[in-house]
Chains A and B, each alone.
Chain A
Amino acid sequence: MLDKPLNEIAHALRAGKISSVELTEIALQKAQTGSNLNAYISLLEEQALAQAKITDKRLAAGDESPLCGIPMAHKDLFCAQGTLTSCGSKILSNFISPYDATVVEKLADAGMVCIGKTNMDEFAMGSTNESSYYGPALNPWNNQHVPGGSSGGAAVAVANGDVPIATGTDTGGSVRQPAALCGLTGIKPTYGRISRYGMVAFASSFDQAGVLANSAQGASLVLEAMCGFDEKDSTSIKEQTIDFSGQLNKPLKGLRVGLPKQYFTDALNPEIGAAIEAAKAELSKAGVQWVDIDLPNSELGIPCYYVLAPAEASSNLSRYDGVRYGHRADEYDDLASMYINSRTEGFGKEVKRRILVGTYALSSGYYDAYYIKAQKLRRLIVNDFQAAFEQCDVILGPTTPNTAPKLGQISDDPAAMYLEDIYTVTINLAGLPALSIPVGFDKQELPIGMQLIGRYMDEATLLNVAHQFQTLTDWHLKTPKTHGKQSRGAA
């Protein structure tokens, strides 16, 4: 039931075919049965069932929220009052949040039932979910492969059919990449659309919440509930039009879709290229117009991002010192050694590496050569997108250069892992909205994702294109149970 599109589940709830409590019990059981996938850092059985009872009463009273009573899961970097919010890190492995993130509050207000907090790369730093203190989540399509990251657990929870949607965050591709690797629809909206209040910070000028769902239609409904101005977030956008689900049936005829020449090179896995060509053929039938565009600084996105994001991270993560919350080392001689020991023990290797890179880029003598240089490149990349959107309405390309790698295949080579983010990080540098939708499988039966990038605040067009594509094709309906190699994968 929970692997059905969200609107079908909502219809069943309203028709009285199933209650929220029953759905929540199914979701919890599915999550427990699939515990080998390591999708969750914590399951919230008691809270979820109590919440489901309340939403059943709301449904009986005629609550009109389309999300009321539907189980979901939050990435474990959203603070949820009274629950562990570890961010996948040892340093926060004892942190029980004293308050709710705005996203948590909004989805609870909409009647969604949170069954658990999902696994993730530590502090959202990673593309494979292998940097989690709690061990890697496994791809439900093939357990020997990673689900992507950093919102890997969220992707596993949805792909495994535990829940129809899960929240994620996307600092450099962390919603879109796991969505692509797990055959899901994943959207990162415009920076500032969704409040960052209560999201554990990684890189504050990039971090943005998003949704992983089993359909664009479901993603649009949840995104509507998550967006909106919040005075608690200093970069929250005040003027917002929030109507995505009502814009899903606009004809695509005449829509100008840009194809950046830099996205279709030898670096792209040919099987992904072929799947995207097939997807383009479907969109051509719907009447879209293709436009060749140029994003000349695309390749510089990786070095630019991997200076700026670690620089912001080194500043944000300086708050973890063992004094007020989080891990404090057992052994130390003085205040300085307490800080150093707590941080050295509490952070994992990838997080420490990024703190070192960021600290170096911000240090005296290197600030101009690295940090300011990267900020200048950021402007060039933003300028590229602005020029491209004068010629087209949407940009289309791959989400990832390759399908899901095997566990351990790239995680020991950070530079190689960073290069897997080539198609996603520039969108975060520019603060634009983008989504990934499933468009096929490779020879190993691993999912392939296609990325659509939109103009500033134009999520509605992206979701409309995605939804129309999903009415023409059935890639989004395939599940690991019917299509994957799960039974053959040795966990």
Chain B
Amino acid sequence: MSFDNKQIEAVAKLAMLRVDEHDMPDTIKKMNGIMTLIDQMQSVNTDQVQPLSHPQDPVLRLREDTVTQSDQREAFQTLTEFAEQGLYTVPKVIE
């Protein structure tokens, strides 16, 4: 796998990031170096191997459906200056 400008821009868009033009050559070079390393995986046949998503393959436990924590909206909204009347403010989405 080898990246070009267009592919980096497409992945960056998915990741909600921007790669500026002056950073593009260095980003492509380093991403291609990383992908060369990663592509070593393809040398192994894993057709008969089941994927493993977690080291302990755990079954997530369930808990009683009861309230365990109190509402802390006011405390959490002190973390931003962009909150008004209990709501977070963002640029207008609907005109």
Interfacial residues, chain A to chain B (CB-CB below 8 A):
95-96, 98, 191-192, 205, 231, 234-235, 237-238, 297, 299-300, 302-304, 306-307, 314, 318, 321, 323-325, 328, 332-336, 338-341, 343-344, 347, 352-353, 355-357, 359-360, 363, 369-370, 372-380, 382, 413-415, 418-419, 428-432
Contacts and interface: CB of A to CB of B under 8 A. Distances in A.
A234 B61 contact: yes
A324 B41 CA distance: 39
Q: Would you list the 7 A-B pairs with minimal beta carbon distance, nearest first?
A: A431-B55, A375-B51, A376-B46, A379-B52, A325-B79, A415-B33, A376-B49
Contacts, number: 156
A378 B41 CA distance: 11
A344 B17 contact: yes
B83 to A, nearest CB: 8
Interface in B49-86: 49-56, 58, 60-61, 63, 72, 75-80, 82
B8 to A, nearest CB: 7
Contact of A231 (B16, B39, B42, B63): B63
A75 to B, nearest CB: 21
B17 A318 contact: no
Contacts of A343: 15-17
Contacts of B90: 323, 335, 338
A433 to B, nearest CB: 11
Could you say which interface size class chain B belongs to?
35 or more
B34 to A, nearest CB: 6
B41 A300 contact: yes
User: Chain B's interface: helix, strand, loop or mixed, by majority?
Assistant: loop
Nearest to B18: A344
Contacts of A335: 90-91, 93
A307 B14 contact: no
A356 B26 CA distance: 14
A195 to B, nearest CB: 14
